[in-house]
Amino acid sequence: MTDRKRIPVAVLGATGSVGQRFVELLLGHPWFELRAVAASDRSAGRAYREAARWLQAAPLSPEIGGLPVRPCEPGAVGDCPLVFSALDSSVAGEVEKAFAAAGRVVVSNSKNHRMDPDVPLVVPEVNPDHVELVRAQPGPGAILTNPNCSTIGLVLALKPLADAFGIESVNVVTMQALSGAGIPGVPSLSALDNVIPFIAGEEEKIENETRKILGRLDGARIAPADVTVSAACNRVSVIDGHLECVSVKLRKKASAGDLESAWRDFSAEPQARKLPSAPAAPIVFLREDDAPQPRLHRDLGGGMAASVGRLRPCPLLDWKFVTLSHNTIRGAAGGSLLLAELAVARGLLK
């Protein structure tokens, strides 16, 4: 795809934490060209550099910084056929439906439509065929969804095991970074020297989304996977990177070497198609006793790889391990970009 054929895109909710990640990752993207940024009414009409409190490490380019922030309305973002949504769930549902009804393809990072029967919930290395579900959606546009940030790291680690051995049950305890709460996020006096053992709705998302993602495409519906998932979620004082302690019960017996080989050998459609945002290795297995760690390993594969380590027998189930993924890159904006690339590669968006 040449620069002249790059697809014009807009970002909704562009001033927030995930919206800024979208903007950062779209700069210089070979397939997509950022043409419009949109946000709330209080930001609309201002230059993006003024409306957004830029928090990313990469500097904001003058060109993007000078873009006017537009209202989150289909008629306000020009002729962009592809829209990335980083909107808050309090407004995302109706806004995304309006864009789809106006003929736009919406790739959403919000929770609102993830469990809709005709909306694909996709991690491109795990269930790429589920994107075909958009063909069952009525109307001229479509909605595709990126899962919850913690769900993504979990299912990436589970997929090779599910394919090779089958999975009967999963127990997961998450330690989730502060950036997952957005801007302004968790108050400092609540976050420092503390662990908060509650994130509203998070446990239910992980339990339900995992079954949908690992499920089977059956015509115009998803048959959920026959796996029991129990999740407990905690907010911890880490900036980026969600760490998850996972125990699994497999349907077939497997050794530690079998599991390690399944993770090390894992590759999928995004790698075969060489999609721009796909990491060369979607899973990185680490043998160190104290790995993975957020500070050391969240940026593997440009923030798009999940790292797995601390594999050992589980006295309750079969095996337990730790997995880590970058929550605002793989778990949000980067995962959504990869999903859009997959949709383009499969001919669902031109």
Q: Nearest Cα to 195, choosing from 238, 153, 134?
A: 238
**Rg for the chain (alpha carbons), in Å?**
19
Dihedral over alpha carbons 208, 154, 25, 295 (to 10 degrees): 140
**Residue 78 contacts by C-beta under 8 Å, 6 or more apart in sequence?**
8, 10, 35, 36
72 among known catalytic residues: no
**Token digits of residue 244:** 């998850």
Q: What is the crossing angle of helices 202-213 and 149-165, to 10°?
A: 40
Q: Under 8 Å CB-to-CB from 276, ≥6 apart: which residues?
A: 29, 30, 31, 337, 341
Evaluate whether 324 touches 299 at the Cβ level (below 8 Å). Answer: no
Active site residue 242: yes
Amino acid at site 219: G
Catalytic residue among 113, 130, 242, 326: 242
* Residues 84 and 11: beta-carbon distance below 8 Å: yes
Catalytic residue chosen out of the listed positions 72, 80, 149, 233 = 149
CA distance 150 to 160: 17
Q: Which residues are catalytic?
A: 149, 242
